């Protein structure tokens, strides 16, 4: 089974871009990733803070905030590289991990017929379809389980409704799961504190958004994961609403 960990890039008033990433992980690779994350925690977090440490949050880790306050830039950036290399080069003892993303130009969305829609919801739906396309091409005899980062009740309700519109239950009279043929029949929400997959997805979403927003990347973080980044360009949505979606240069 494939596990698709979904997370968004968070809110940033300086950026007009919101990205949702779906990190695709074979279920037999999760423990390897968890061990690698543990080694990064061991090398980065001071001994007296290890027991209370909860998670890697991309913005905090990059900017030296929260539990990473006071840590040397070089140490934090080395930690980011090690975590991203799980995706880019498979340094967790497994092959590189693909991730599908959809990025929304929030100003473009405001000018569109869907201006009242949540950017996160629009990006999630497009990313979900991109995962389905990846499954069709790479694991057509398998199944994918969607795991989403915890959200407030309003956002969760929107995401669940969007998922159900794309993946209806297989019941009469249609007997069809609509557009998500290779996806489990429910989405599951969890806290990133409890999931290394969601934490890695958060890092990918953060650096995808920075790349698409034209923010500086002197450390080359995006280049570590660029080859694994798949922009969802599913039709007819991509062409119909091209003023909404953005992608990185190939």
> DSSP characters for 39-50?
HHHHHHS-GGGT
37 found inside a domain: no
- 242 versus 36: the higher-pLDDT residue is 36
161-189 pLDDT tens trace: 999 999 998 889 888 878 999 999 999 99
β-strand partners of 22: 6, 100
Q: What is the pLDDT of residue 13?
A: 61
Closest CA to 7 of 157, 130, 120: 120
Q: What CATH number has the domain bearing residue 138?
A: 3.30.420
60 found inside a domain: no
91 found inside a domain: no
Range of the domain at 21: 2-28+97-246
* pTM of the complete model: 0.94
Q: What is the pLDDT of residue 240?
A: 86
202 found inside a domain: yes
R_g over Cα of the chain: 18
Q: How far apart are CA 173 and CA 21, in angstroms?
A: 34
33-55 pLDDT tens trace: 999 999 999 999 999 889 889 99
How many structural domains compose the chain? 1
199-230 pLDDT tens trace: 999 999 999 999 999 998 999 999 999 999 99
227 found inside a domain: yes
80 found inside a domain: no
């Amino acid at each position: 089974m494939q596990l698709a960990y979904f997370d968004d890039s968070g809110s940033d008033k300086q950026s007009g871009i919101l990205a949702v990433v779906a990190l695709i992980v074979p279920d037999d690779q999760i423990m390897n990733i968890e061990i690698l994350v543990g080694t990064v925690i061991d090398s980065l977090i001071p001994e007296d803070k290890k027991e209370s440490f909860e998670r890697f949050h991309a913005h905090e880790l990059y900017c030296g905030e929260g539990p990473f306050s006071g840590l040397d830039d070089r140490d934090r950036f080395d930690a980011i590289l090690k975590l991203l290399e799980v995706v880019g080069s498979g340094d967790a003892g497994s092959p590189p991990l693909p991730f599908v993303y959809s990025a929304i130009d929030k100003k473009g969305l405001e000018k569109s017929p869907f201006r009242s829609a949540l950017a996160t919801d629009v990006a999630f739906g497009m990313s979900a379809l991109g995962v389905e396309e990846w499954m069709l091409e790479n694991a057509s005899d398998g199944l994918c389980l969607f795991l989403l980062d915890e959200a407030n009740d309003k956002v969760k309700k929107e995401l669940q409704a969007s998922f159900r519109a794309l993946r209806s239950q297989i019941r009469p009279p249609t007997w069809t799961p609509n557009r998500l043929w290779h996806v489990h029949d429910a989405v599951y929400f969890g806290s990133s504190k409890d999931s290394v997959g969601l934490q890695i997805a958060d890092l990918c979403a953060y650096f995808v958004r920075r790349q698409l927003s034209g923010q500086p990347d002197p450390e080359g973080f995006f280049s570590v994961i660029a080859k694994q980044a798949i922009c969802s360009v599913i039709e007819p949505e991509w062409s119909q609403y091209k003023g909404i979606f953005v992608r990185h240069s190939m």
